[in-house]
């Protein structure tokens, strides 16, 4: 192994691991040093997670949160991508609906909570709807941009070979816009994961977001609160890492910078 | 009667493309810019034509009009006696290498225009044109993994695969290094001699025009008009150090108003 490869491995693996250990150590020392009665130490959090496993709540809560994100994000992708493609394809239609979209886009989905509960009551559909709202707009907007950024050379080449408009959309516009759409989906998934926490705090009684608020309300169990926070962070990171793998698929790799 | 018609030699010298008083103006911010002015041109079937002119003179615009991507603001272009109203798979436009689809493999690109064909026939044609442009071994490669010259050959192969009777080439070798450029010119001539397509080739490179064309159409600076049409009656392969080659080249240099010294 060359020294260059060795130092690359250090940078990518050992150094971040070391930073993680140092963080846990600092956390532990700070809790011990301040003698706080409220904030848990890393070991207490570890015991809290063990308690969740014992009560067989851990996997069911994680499962519930993931399912809601999958439903809300999935619906946003299934609706958002075709709508984005169409709006990008027909700029006039885009001009008509764009003001409404731009108005709705900056509204935090959390503001919709009362309306969601009014429409769907307390339960899964409300949470799914809020997550859907958070993911839908970024997917549509990046899809529209993806289509309008397709170089005219590709459109002309497609038309030159005699493709019908529908085939042109399927065989040229969609694959040409796909890398940008993947970026939009990744952003949307991150937002969906954020909105999930807020939605579960008010609309349902299971899941990681519910765990945060329930642990606080029922007995001020801050060890469980921090355990839930850590899990939310770790799973969110894992989702993002998995999603980034899509960027290395060969038919979209050309659209990303790390392509070589 | 039909026998008589069939035996007429007219097909050999039939007009393939006719541009009649083609004019083009663009309007931008209220300013009207004339790009093409009364272009008249007749191209014979199987002919290799180079449109030569300074950068920005409008030769690419003329090519886009001939290919049906743009409508002229005056005059018309006829191909096979019909007015051009849009792009057509019988005549393929080859962009600089930018035109290959980066999301498709070499095979996928060459087979792109063959979507109406049965699988076996399509595979046969793909293999044939991969061999013709020398991309064997790169069938599954993506354009990202190819050099500029290979991408350009790929785009030519994709165009040839649909068996068009005309090719429009817009400075196809402009972005390549000079060695690759020479090789590709030779390959293009070989393919042209084998398949006898009518070729309209836009370039700003005088040497390139004299090396390739049956006739060089010299355009003026904007608004472009046909300044002259030079027939290069040297058989291929052309010796680029021969007297006659240099005479043609110098003649065009003079017409464009360029001195020999740099």
Q: Enumerate the residues of chain B whose CB falls inside 8 A of the CB of residue A164.
A: none
In terms of residue numbers, what domain contains A109? 44-252
> Distance of CA B242 to CAs A139, B186, B233, B249, B258, Å?
63, 17, 13, 11, 21
Whether A27 maps to a domain, the answer reads no
The total of other beta-carbon atoms located within 10 Å of residue B49's CB is: 24
Q: Which among A160, A163, A176 is the nearest to B103, CB-wise?
A: A176
Task: Report the mean per-residue pLDDT for chain B.
Answer: 88
Of A160, A171, A175, the CB nearest to B87: A160
List of chain B residues whose C-beta atoms are within 8 Å of the C-beta of residue A250: 142
Cβ proximity of A135 and A76 under 8 Å:
yes
The CATH number that applies at residue A188 is 1.10.3720.10
Report whether A31 contacts A40 (CB < 8 A).
Answer: yes
Does some domain include residue A33? no
Our CA-based measurement puts residue B107 at a distance from the nearest CA of chain A, in whole angstroms, of: 13
- Helix or strand holding residue B160 (H, E): helix B148-161
In this predicted complex, what is the ipTM?
A: 0.85
Whether A25 is in a domain gets the answer no
Find tokens 């690359």 and name the residue.
A8
pLDDT mean over B147-157:
90
The model carries a pTM of: 0.84
Task: Please list every residue in chain B whose beta carbon sits closer than 8 Å to the beta carbon of residue A162.
Answer: 88-89, 113
Residue of B nearest to A162 (CA): B89
Nearest C-alpha of chain B: how many angstroms from A257?
Answer: 12
Q: How far is CA B201 from the centre of its chain?
A: 3
Range with lowest mean pLDDT among B71-85, B106-120, B238-252: B238-252
Residue A48 burial by Cβ neighbours in a 10 Å radius (0-12, 13-18, 19+): buried
Chain B residues closer than 8 Å to A171 by CB: 112, 115
User: Tens digits of per-residue pLDDT, B9-42?
Assistant: 444 568 899 999 999 999 888 888 899 999 999 9
- Please tell me the predicted confidence (pLDDT) of residue A258: 58
Which residues between 180 and 239 in chain A have a beta carbon less than 8 angstroms from any beta carbon of chain B? none
Confidence (pLDDT) at A13? 84
Tell me if B115 and A255 make a contact (CB, 8 A cut-off). no
- Sort out which chain A residues have CB atoms less than 8 A from B162's CB and list them: 161
- Inspect the interface and report whether the beta carbons of A255 and B86 lie closer than 8 Å: no
* Contacting residues of B for A178, CB less than 8 Å apart: 103
Number of domains comprising chain A? 1
Q: Domain range for residue B70?
A: 13-90+197-257
Averaged pLDDT, groups of 10, chain A, 260 residues long: 70 87 94 89 92 90 96 97 93 90 90 93 93 94 93 93 92 94 94 95 92 89 92 95 90 75
Determine whether the interchain pair B101/A154 forms a contact, defined as Cβ–Cβ distance below 8 Å. yes
Distance CA A137, CA A132 (A): 9
Q: What is the distance in angstroms between the Cα of A251 and the nearest Cα belonging to chain B?
A: 4
Asked whether residue B123 is assigned to any structural domain, the reply reads no
Q: How far apart are CA A152 and CA B82, in angstroms?
A: 26
Integer Cα distance of A256 and A164 in angstroms: 29
Whether B215 contacts B231, CB under 8 Å:
yes
Query: Distance, in angstroms, between A90 CA and closest chain B CA?
Result: 19
> Which of A167, A172, A250 is facing B142, going by the closest CB pair?
A250
CB contact under 8 A, A176 and B115: no
Would you say residue B243 lies in a domain? yes
What CATH number does residue B230 fall under?
3.40.50.300
Closest residue of A to B162, CA-based?
A161
pLDDT for res B258: 67
d(CA A166, CA A172): 10
- Identify whether B34 is part of a domain: yes
């Amino acid at each position: 192994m060359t020294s260059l490869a060795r130092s690359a491995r250090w940078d990518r693996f050992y150094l971040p691991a070391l930073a993680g250990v140092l963080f846990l150590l600092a956390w532990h020392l700070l809790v011990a040093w301040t003698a706080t009665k409220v904030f848990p130490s890393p070991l207490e959090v570890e015991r809290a997670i063990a308690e969740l496993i014992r009560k067989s709540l851990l996997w069911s809560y994680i499962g519930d949160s993931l399912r809601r994100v999958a439903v809300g994000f999935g619906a946003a992708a299934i609706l958002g991508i075709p709508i984005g493609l169409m709006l990008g394809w027909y700029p006039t239609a885009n001009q008509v609906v764009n003001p409404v979209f731009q108005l709705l886009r900056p509204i935090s989905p959390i503001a919709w909570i009362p309306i969601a509960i009014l429409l769907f009551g307390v339960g899964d559909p409300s949470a799914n709807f809020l997550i859907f709202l958070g993911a839908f707009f970024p997917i549509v907007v990046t899809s529209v941009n993806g289509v309008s950024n397709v170089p005219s050379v590709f459109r002309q080449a497609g038309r030159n070979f005699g493709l019908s408009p529908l085939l042109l959309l399927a065989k040229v516009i969609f694959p040409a816009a796909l890398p940008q759409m993947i970026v939009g989906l990744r952003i949307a998934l991150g937002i969906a994961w954020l909105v999930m926490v807020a939605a579960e705090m008010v609309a349902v009684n299971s899941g990681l977001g519910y765990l945060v608020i329930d642990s606080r309300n029922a007995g001020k169990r801050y060890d469980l609160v921090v355990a839930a926070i850590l899990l939310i962070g770790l799973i969110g990171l894992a989702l993002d890492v998995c999603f980034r793998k899509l960027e290395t698929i060969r038919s979209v790799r050309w659209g990303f910078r790390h392509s070589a | 009667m039909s026998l008589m018609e069939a035996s007429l030699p007219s097909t050999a010298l039939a007009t393939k493309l006719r541009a009649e008083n083609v004019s083009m103006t663009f309007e931008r911010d209220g300013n009207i810019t004339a790009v093409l002015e009364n272009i008249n041109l007749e191209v014979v079937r199987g002919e290799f034509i180079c449109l030569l002119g300074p950068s920005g003179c409008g030769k690419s615009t003329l090519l886009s009009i001939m290919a049906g991507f743009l409508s002229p603001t005056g005059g018309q272009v006829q191909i096979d006696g019909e007015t051009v109203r849009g792009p057509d798979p019988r005549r393929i436009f080859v962009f600089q290498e930018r035109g290959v689809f980066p999301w498709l493999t070499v095979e996928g690109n060459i087979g792109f225009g063959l979507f109406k064909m049965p699988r076996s026939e399509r595979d046969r044609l793909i293999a044939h044109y991969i061999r013709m442009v020398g991309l064997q071994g790169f069938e599954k490669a993506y354009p990202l993994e190819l050099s500029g010259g290979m991408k350009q050959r790929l785009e030519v192969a994709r165009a040839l695969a649909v068996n068009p009777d005309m090719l429009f080439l817009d400075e196809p070798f402009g972005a390549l290094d000079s060695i690759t450029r020479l090789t590709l010119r030779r390959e293009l001539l070989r393919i042209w001699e084998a398949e006898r397509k009518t070729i309209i080739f836009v370039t700003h490179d005088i040497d390139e025009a004299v090396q390739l064309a049956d006739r060089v159409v010299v355009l003026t600076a904007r608004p472009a008009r046909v300044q002259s049409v030079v027939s290069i009656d040297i058989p291929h392969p052309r010796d680029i150090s021969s007297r006659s080659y240099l005479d043609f080249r110098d003649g065009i240099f003079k017409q464009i108003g360029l001195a020999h010294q740099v």
